[in-house]
Structure 1
Amino acid sequence: MAISNHERINRALATLSQGLYSYIEKEMRIVHGDRWLVVAKSCISEDQTLRRNLEETLQEDVSVLLKLIIKQWDNVFKKKLSNAERALVSELIDVRNKWAHQSRFSTDDTYRALDSMTRIMKAISASELDIIEQQKQDVLKMLSPEKAEEARIKEKLSDVHKLLIFSNEKLLRQALTHRSYVNENPGEGEHNERLEFLGDAILNFLSGEYLYEKFAEKGEDELTRLRSALVEEKQLAKFAIEVGLDFRMRLGKGTIRDGGFQNPNLLSSTFEAVIGAYYLDNNRNVEPLREIVKILFNDASKHIVEIRSNVDSKNRFQELVQAKGITNPPKYVTEQIGGPSHAPEFRAKVLVEGKEKGEGKGKNKKEAEKAAAEDALAKWKNQVY
């Protein structure tokens, strides 16, 4: 009989509880000594301790163990665990609550939960790690049977990008939640569209500020075009994949079937939503966000500037011509001037109102016309006109 995803989560949580108990007892004793149970009891709500004695509660209730890590974070656990692992603990508290309320787990939800559990188990060197790792691999085969896709998922979900480390995990979950998921799971909270609106505004500001400081020699028109390229849909989708949002997006079944995890529009929208949520999670302080996006912008801006300089020469020259009040666009006259049939050479001249403004050569018409436009731009810059 096939095991349901809910039962997979149940078994994994039971294994996680075993691994966590030994670790928590050891670390709590280091700090609190023989009083560790007294301290632990103060962190447990009365309704739980009334049902069972303290030892049973700690050994059997994984939610109590996870909450104990959060409540004793500063005193005990942050000495050995990272903020990324604290974020995983918060995520697993939500997983346990979802399981306790009999909520539905998709295969993707199940894999993500098991993946988070394995990373916590690795962090604490739990002997039960192999059990959950095997369960995770079983679900991975269900999620994506092709080996290439398996490798991609493993790579993307192996580490938590700094942009995905939240104090308020519910805010991150909302940022990852598409309307299609909420439509299919009405009890799963809000979708991310309002956060997307906020993130879009923040990205426009941060990208403008970044380009203003980085390219002091460029004018308003060029900076505007660079900003458009830096925050356009395809580029934001690349950022989303870089930080690991693709398989973390919470999408409806139909949207997943339609290729939602690779959809540039969904990826870019989710990235904007995460930006907005991260800003709120940091008490509306833009500084932590500025440092993160600057790293993303640095790599992307090099490529964008190169593309604009290599591809947009004709467009830039046409814009300069129009700025002089000339309505007719530049005209290119191109001819083959030599070379064998398999390696011809072309020469192009660019004319403005019948007057030659630039000349260039290339292996094809496109390259020759681009060279002619670059020649015209250089002459314009040097005031040859």
Structure 2
Amino acid sequence: MDPLVLQNRLGHNFKDATLLQQALTHRSHSSLHNERLEFLGDSILNCVVASLLFDRYNKIDEGDLSRLRANLVKQQSLYEIAQRLDLSQFLRLGEGELKSGGFRRPSILADTLEALFGAIFLDAGFNAARDVIRSLYIPILDTVDPKTLGKDAKTLLQEYLQGKKIPLPQYNVVATHGAAHNQEFEIECLVPKLEIQVFGTGPSRP
């Protein structure tokens, strides 16, 4: 596909087209691949997202800011952005990765997106990379709840009950399955005051 399409989606036209090509090149394709650009882009991404969160949420403390940033820059979040850009159409993969469906692999797409951020930085400086990252992340920030993003279900339930001054849940192991090194636990969760009884399974005890 025409790389100009991707540049339009990113909102950045490369002066040095070789940087764009390198950012899209997986190590399975050639020796001039995108891993060093990915390293650079990862740091820029963390910096820009931290700045966005700092400016937007002036009443949130450091711990919650760190939780938000970690969830926004994790592989799944980058993968979802890469999908919206249809980034898989532009990847340069070796034959083996092509055959094994590497263009669909979340890790490859997430790493390539970070490499693009690094390439934009080298092509036009920090402000250009910042502007691209902001354009991709501001729509996400407009839709997330900073109080709940990245918190697990157990924490959310406990915070809800504490806010309503209801005693914390009771957890009981009702069954254990699998070998000792790979056990799965069936757990009962009770909130007597609300007459709630639910069951779930997982690899660890609550």
Count of matched residue positions in the alignment of Structure 1 and Structure 2 = 175
Asked if residue 348 in structure 1 is aligned to residue 191 in structure 2, the reply is: yes
* Partner residue, 2:179: none
* Partner residue, 1:353: none
Match of 2:148 among 300, 308, 317: 308
Tell me, which stretches of 5 or more residues in structure 2 are unaligned? 160-166, 172-188, 200-206
* Partner residue, 2:181: none
Tell me, which stretches of 5 or more residues in structure 1 are unaligned? 1-111, 120-156, 183-188, 320-329, 335-345, 350-358, 367-385
Q: TM-score, normalised by structure 2?
A: 0.72
Q: Tell me the distance in 1 between the aligned counterparts of 2:149 and 2:92.
A: 38
Q: Tell me the distance in 2 between the aligned counterparts of 1:211 and 1:191.
A: 31
Asked if residue 332 in structure 1 is aligned to residue 169 in structure 2, the reply is: yes
Give the conservation status (yes or no) of the 8 Å contact 1:239–1:296. yes
* Partner residue, 2:26: 178
Greater fraction of residues in strand: 2
* Partner residue, 2:80: 238
Q: TM-score, normalised by structure 1?
A: 0.40
Q: Secondary structure of 1:250's partner?
A: coil
Give the conservation status (yes or no) of the 8 Å contact 1:178–1:192. yes
* Partner residue, 2:138: 298
Q: Deviations over 1:1-58 (max 9, x none)?
A: xxxxxxxxxxxxxxxxxxxxxxxxxxxxxxxxxxxxxxxxxxxxxxxxxxxxxxxxxx
Amino acid aligned to 2:170: V
Answer 1 or 2: higher relative contact order, Cα 8 Å, separation at least 6.
Answer: 2
Q: Tell me the distance in 1 between the aligned counterparts of 2:90 and 2:149.
A: 35
Give the conservation status (yes or no) of the 8 Å contact 1:163–1:243. no
Deviation at 1:331, TM superposition (A): 5.3
Give the conservation status (yes or no) of the 8 Å contact 1:174–1:191. yes
1:29-68 counterparts in 2 under 5 A? none
1:160-239 counterparts in 2 under 5 A? 160-163=8-11, 165-182=13-30, 190-239=32-81
Deviation at 1:312, TM superposition (A): 3.5
Q: Tell me the distance in 1 between the aligned counterparts of 2:54 and 2:105.
A: 31
- For the structure 1 residues 268 and 190, does the alpha-carbon distance in structure 2 shift closer, same or farther, using more than 3 Å as the test? same
Q: Tell me the distance in 2 between the aligned counterparts of 1:195 and 1:159.
A: 17
Q: Secondary structure of 2:60's partner?
A: coil
1:21-170 counterparts in 2 under 5 A? 112=1, 115=2, 160-163=8-11, 165-170=13-18
Match of 1:365 among 189, 198, 203: 198
Q: Tell me the distance in 1 between the aligned counterparts of 2:33 and 2:79.
A: 19
Q: Tell me the distance in 2 between the aligned counterparts of 1:178 and 1:310.
A: 30
Q: Which runs of 4+ in 1 moved over 4 A?
A: 316-319, 359-362
- For the structure 1 residues 306 and 208, does the alpha-carbon distance in structure 2 shift closer, same or farther, using more than 3 Å as the test? closer
Percent identical among aligned pairs is 33
Q: Deviations over 1:92-150 (max 9, x none)?
A: xxxxxxxxxxxxxxxxxxxx3xx57xx9xxxxxxxxxxxxxxxxxxxxxxxxxxxxxxx
- For the structure 1 residues 164 and 257, does the alpha-carbon distance in structure 2 shift closer, same or farther, using more than 3 Å as the test? farther
Q: Tell me the distance in 2 between the aligned counterparts of 1:348 and 1:227.
A: 32
Deviation at 1:361, TM superposition (A): 6.7
Amino acid aligned to 1:168: D
Deviation at 1:301, TM superposition (A): 2.6
Give the conservation status (yes or no) of the 8 Å contact 1:230–1:304. no
Deviation at 1:225, TM superposition (A): 0.7
Q: Tell me the distance in 2 between the aligned counterparts of 1:206 and 1:360.
A: 43
* Partner residue, 1:73: none
- For the structure 1 residues 260 and 287, does the alpha-carbon distance in structure 2 shift closer, same or farther, using more than 3 Å as the test? same
Deviation at 1:246, TM superposition (A): 1.3
- For the structure 1 residues 261 and 365, does the alpha-carbon distance in structure 2 shift closer, same or farther, using more than 3 Å as the test? same
CA RMSD in angstroms comes to 3.2
